[in-house]
Amino acid sequence: MRMMCWALAAVCLAWASAALADGGYSVVVSQATGEDPLWKPVVDALVAKHGAKVVPYGGSVGDSLPALREQFPRYICFVAKPAEATREFVMEVNRLTRRLDDDPYGDAMWGILTGYDEACALRIARHAEPLEIHRVAAATEVELSVCDEGLWYSELVQGKMVRKRPGQEPENLPAPLDTTEAMADTLNRYQAQLFVTSGHASERDWQIGYRYRGGQFRCAKGQLFGLDTQGRKFPIRSDNPKVYLPVGNCLMGHIDRTEAMALAFMNSAGVNQMIGYTVSTWYGYGGWGLLDYFVEQPGRFTLAEAFFANQQALIHRLETYFPGAGADQPVGELSPKARQAGLSPNDARGLKFDRDVVAFYGDPAWSARMAPGRLAWEQIFRQADGEYRLEIKPLRGDKSFQPVNTNGSQRGGRPIVQRLPHRIRPESVRILEGADLAPLVADDFLLVPLPKECDAKRTYQVVFRASRVGP
């Protein structure tokens, strides 16, 4: 037992050192939750794992802003009981994490750590071992050619599935007309490490078919179960660590009471991290874009980094094509740039709609990433003596910057995002090379709009000098 304790302490110290070296970690929690003897261990586990600083607040979560501005961490975890993790809380967290400085972009990778109960939340908080995702399961089309192995069942064509086995190419296969049991089996038996869904959903159910009548996933007392069209019930009990992306589902991220699908996925399906819309989705940029960054650039980003990248891409799109609209000003006459890009006022409304309504649940510093796979471009970053260099080398010829997969909404065209190893002072930035690529250098990330055409023989480069924040 003593050896196990020492081993656990060593793991926690290693993670704490990593978080501190990466810029610090803050835990934001209401005073009531932080002082609750059932939930205090959740906060304590994060402090032990990451060397975190605790920021308690008494009224609104926005009251934590002065302390967060002083700490300026690169990770913020909001510990919340289910009753606290409301739609309004998610919106306030989205906005709060952009207000640590004066620019419109996100200032930290963040997550809301909650659970069906304190035991569920504590399991998520304590989990430290990184996850490399080899097995993927989905109820909508995902790009299996870049995955190690996986399967997806069509939500549009009844009886269709695609499967990829390790070392082979994806193949089309027949599927049951009702895939409820098969979808439950992807969690119970196949033990998928990434689960992706779309289609109609609510806080209490998910409808598996979209263009045809299929079964459902439902929840009761923190437990997920499948219910097929014949009324047969399939309990879901899956404890292998996994992440869940309901990229096209309405309301799957909305925790309106304890009996919510998000909490059931955490409690009975082993989900440690997930995203989800807290409202009915229609535009889709904030959800489907996770596939562009996380799945289709396999191994490049953790899920938290992919979520962060997609949020900055959304904000950059607003700021670029609809100046002023990102600051909640009405959309006026379209700029020539927006018209040239074929955008409309509806795009501005959609981007603003998606910006604050997608939740990220889990520990933002926990590493869950796809196993390395086929990439459309190589991304090499170097830094030395105040000079920062990003090299982008096409790997798919002149198609390197074209969408990998277009299933869903608002797919493709995402900018290239590189997280910096530490914070810099944006006012000190001097672009030495690559200004023609219109790069954005923020305090801890570099964003390069995806070139519309690809010169397969060119190595695209952005080089800049900047002063580092801190030692």
> Would 391 be classed as within a structural domain?
yes
- Number of H helices and number of E strands within the chain? 12, 25
DSSP β-bridge partners for residue 75: 25, 109
> Would 304 be classed as within a structural domain?
no
- Per-residue pLDDT, 325: 76
Cβ neighbours of residue 102 closer than 8 Å, sequence gap 6 or more: none
> Would 237 be classed as within a structural domain?
yes
DSSP string, 348-366: HHHHHHHHTTEEEES-TTS
Low-confidence ranges of the chain (pLDDT < 70): 1-22, 326-329, 332, 471
**Statement to judge: residues 143 and 229 lie in one domain:** yes
- Per-residue pLDDT, 384: 93
Q: What single letter denotes the amino acid at residue 38? A: L
Last residue of a domain, one of 295, 315, 342: 295
Inter-residue contact 415 to 452 (CB < 8 Å): no
> Would 313 be classed as within a structural domain?
no
> Would 111 be classed as within a structural domain?
yes
Q: In what order do the strands lie in the sheet with 135-138?
A: 53-57, 25-30, 75-79, 109-113, 358-361, 271-277, 242-245, 194-196, 135-138, 149-153, 160-164, 171-174
- Per-residue pLDDT, 291: 98
Inter-residue contact 159 to 176 (CB < 8 Å): yes
**Statement to judge: residues 408 and 446 lie in one domain:** yes
**Statement to judge: residues 148 and 283 lie in one domain:** yes
> Would 324 be classed as within a structural domain?
no
- Per-residue pLDDT, 334: 84
- Per-residue pLDDT, 20: 52
| Burial 146-158, CB ≥16 within 10 A → b, else e | bbbbbbbbbbeeb
DSSP β-bridge partners for residue 219: 224
Instruction: Count how many Cα atoms sit within 13 Å of the Cα of residue 11 in the half-sphere of its side chain.
Output: 13
Helix ranges restricted to H, 72-211: 87-96, 118-126, 180-188
Residue 419's domain comprises: 375-465
- pTM (predicted TM-score): 0.94
